[in-house]
Amino acid sequence: MSYPVIVVPFLNVSGMALFPFILVKYKADANDPVLIRHETIHLKQAAELLVIPFYVMYLLHYLYNLYRYGNHRQAYYQIIFEREAYRNENDAAYLNKRRFWAWRFY
């Protein structure tokens, strides 16, 4: 399944998954398969957790990591949902073979 991509020029990151949309800062990014795959992984994670709990868990993981590592960058990259997304964003076949709640293995 593909999700609608919306260009949001004032976005402060290159891409964001805001269920059920993928927001990108630049129009060209709408054609970046790696970025779109990364954000699509997040939308699947969100759908599997009935959306709101996904965002709550994402935030709580981030805050826990911030406390644990003491810096934003590491706190962000160690969020379990980001670990799954970054690990698989370059695998074109990943979305077809991904298992339910796959993030729990990261």
Q: Of the two residues 69 and 83, which places its CB atom closer to Zn ion in the complex? A: 83
Q: Which residues contact 75 (CB under 8 A, 6 or more apart)?
A: 62, 63, 65, 66, 68, 69
Is 85 an interacting residue with respect to Zn ion (CB under 5 A)?
yes
Question: Contact between 35 and Zn ion (CB under 5 A)?
Answer: no
Residue 14 belongs to what H/E stretch? none
Q: Which is nearer to Zn ion, 29 or 82 (CB)?
A: 82
For residue 99, the 8-state DSSP code is P
Size of the site for Zn ion (CB under 5 A): 2
Q: How far is the CB of 51 from Zn ion (least distance, A)?
A: 16
